[in-house]
């Protein structure tokens, strides 16, 4: 049996799962002995299936095996030889797009500081629709055709039409896959014999992005913000209040917030540190007193609920199954909007009220309160001030006030 269970002084049961087939060990604590045994058996069964899967003929795609194992095992098995030369068959044949995407996803999913959790689903779309094509044969023509399918909803199984903005994200993610292969010279064309051999090119760079049209203009009014904050306090998911308040007062993106860990909070300086933003930079955000107090209470309850010595590594907005995977909060978000009596679809602009609207609201609130654009740009983490301009919405009252202050005495 590859696991042991010990009873802690707190009368909880700690399981340690170790095996020569994995790197390191998996440690978890449960209120009951049966729960600990169940996890041990699940991990043991999953690892056994993985070992058998590696020997299967015909061979399973590496990503298929990764997707099939228990989530807690994923980061402990990537060292195995089966995943070393992902996508290269025993005859040294050239890679297909499917192999290259599998390779990239194994690397991307192992990154602790990723913020965009939509990358994998978007790349799976490319893999399903174009994965069979050899990399050398995959050109800008296929990229353009794929973008048209994404916008019109004509994928093999995914028939949902997407906006031009979203199609640009699909293209950008695919471009990252090729950049991943090219820059560190991870992948060479069939027939390469030296590290200086000709590398694959990035066909995505030859395809112009789709026009993104009018940016979102919807931000919440002061009254809506107050109702949303009160409604979030009533959520059955307790961290919802902290998530909404942090989005409104820090202006962080959803992915940045969902990736925060308890170790990122500096309680003495009232700040929280984001290791990597969407732009690839890091940033420090100030937290307001009420947010700090609520987070501190949450932190206290988290420490009491586990004996995990790595508890500071847990996500603040953790999922139900694992503290290392973020919570899927869409249903709770919709319920919070309903309690706050905020319509999911805005009548004025015809735009949906999404979680990202809170980031718009953050920038707009700063602008209305007289903060200059450079300050807003810095707080929001925009590289280009033109991006900041898209977030600062001048409403009717703001415009009337500006005209009155400047021209009231004319005539």
Question: In the block, which residue shows the tokens 């309850």?
Answer: 301
State the architecture of 222-407 in CATH terms.
Orthogonal Bundle (1.10)
Reference 73, options 97, 99, 49; nearest CA is: 49
279-337 per-position pLDDT tens digit: 767 889 999 999 999 999 999 999 999 888 889 999 999 988 889 888 989 899 999 99
pLDDT at position 221 over 60: yes
Pairing status of strand 265-266 against strand 25-30? unpaired
Pairing status of strand 25-30 against strand 283-286? unpaired
Pairing status of strand 283-286 against strand 3-7? unpaired
Integer Cα distance of 90 and 85 in angstroms: 10
Please report the DSSP string for 261-283 in residue order.
BGGGEETTTTEEEES--TTS--E
Residue 42 vs residues 32, 39, 107, 322, 351: alpha-carbon distances, Å = 16, 5, 25, 14, 44
25-44 per-position pLDDT tens digit: 898 889 899 999 999 999 99
Confidence of residue 60 (pLDDT cuts 50, 70, 90): confident
CATH class of 87-213: mainly alpha
Phi-psi region of 221 (alpha: psi -120 to 50; beta: other; left: phi over 0): beta
User: What integer is the mean pLDDT of 362-391?
Assistant: 85
Query: Which pLDDT does position 108 carry in this prediction?
Result: 79
Query: Which pLDDT does position 367 carry in this prediction?
Result: 87
- pTM for the full predicted model: 0.58
104-158 per-position pLDDT tens digit: 888 777 766 566 668 889 999 999 899 888 887 889 999 999 999 999 998 888 8
Query: Which pLDDT does position 87 carry in this prediction?
Result: 43
Residue span(s) of the chain under CATH 1.10.443.10 come to 222-407
Confidence of residue 189 (pLDDT cuts 50, 70, 90): very low
Contact 213, 151 (CB under 8 A): no
Element (H, E) at 400: helix 396-407
Higher pLDDT, 74 or 366: 366
245-282 per-position pLDDT tens digit: 999 999 999 989 999 999 999 999 999 998 877 776 78
Please report the DSSP string for 35-98 in residue order.
HHHHHHHHHHHHHHHHHHHHT-SSPPPHHHHHHHS-GGGHHHHTTSGGGTTTT--TT-PPPBHH
Query: Which pLDDT does position 396 carry in this prediction?
Result: 59
Dihedral sign for Cα 171, 121, 284, 263, please: negative
If 0-12 CB within 10 Å is exposed, 13-18 middle and 19+ buried, where does residue 351 land?
middle
pLDDT, averaged across the chain: 83
DSSP 211: P
Reference 130, options 168, 74, 170; nearest CA is: 170
Contact 298, 400 (CB under 8 A): no
Higher pLDDT, 190 or 168: 168
Higher pLDDT, 255 or 84: 255
Residue span(s) of the chain under CATH 1.10.150.130 come to 87-213
């Amino acid at each position: 049996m590859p696991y042991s269970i010990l009873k802690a002084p707190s009368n909880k049961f700690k399981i340690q799962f170790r095996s020569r087939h994995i790197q390191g060990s998996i440690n978890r604590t449960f209120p009951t002995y049966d729960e600990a045994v169940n996890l041990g058996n699940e991990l043991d069964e999953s690892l056994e299936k993985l070992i058998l899967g590696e020997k299967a003929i015909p061979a399973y795609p590496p990503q298929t095996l990764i997707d099939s194992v228990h989530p807690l095992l994923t980061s402990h098995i990537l060292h195995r030889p089966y995943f070393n030369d992902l996508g290269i068959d025993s005859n040294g044949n050239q890679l297909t797009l499917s192999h290259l995407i599998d390779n990239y996803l194994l690397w991307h999913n192992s990154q602790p500081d990723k913020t965009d959790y939509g990358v994998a689903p978007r790349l799976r779309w490319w893999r399903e629709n174009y994965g069979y094509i050899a990399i050398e044969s995959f050109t800008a023509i296929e990229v353009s055709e794929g973008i048209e399918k994404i916008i019109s909803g004509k994928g093999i199984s995914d028939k949902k039409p997407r906006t031009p903005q979203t199609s640009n994200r699909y293209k950008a993610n695919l471009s990252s896959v090729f950049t991943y292969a090219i820059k560190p010279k991870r992948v060479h064309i069939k027939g390469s014999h030296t590290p200086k051999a000709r590398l694959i090119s990035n066909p995505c760079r030859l395809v112009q992005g789709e026009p993104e049209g009018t940016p979102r203009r919807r931000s919440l009014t002061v009254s809506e913000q107050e109702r949303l904050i009160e409604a979030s306090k009533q959520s059955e998911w307790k961290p919802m209040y902290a998530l909404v308040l942090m989005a409104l007062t820090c202006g962080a993106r959803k992915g940045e917030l969902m990736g925060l860990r308890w170790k990122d909070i500096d309680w003495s300086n009232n700040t929280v540190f984001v290791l990597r933003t969407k732009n690839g930079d890091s940033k420090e955000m100030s937290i307001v007193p009420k947010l700090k107090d609520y987070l501190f209470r949450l932190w206290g309850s988290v420490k009491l609920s586990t004996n995990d010595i790595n508890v500071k590594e847990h996500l603040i907005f953790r999922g139900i199954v694992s503290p290392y995977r973020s919570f899927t909060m869409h249903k709770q978000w919709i319920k919070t909007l309903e309690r706050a009596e905020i319509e999911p679809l805005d009548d004025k602009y015809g735009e949906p009220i999404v979680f990202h609207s809170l980031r718009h609201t953050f920038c707009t609130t700063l602008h209305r309160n007289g903060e200059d654009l450079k300050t807003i740009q810095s707080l929001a983490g925009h590289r280009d001030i033109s991006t900041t301009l898209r977030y600062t919405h001048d409403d009717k009252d703001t415009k009337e006030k500006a005209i009155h202050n400047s021209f009231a005495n004319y005539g």
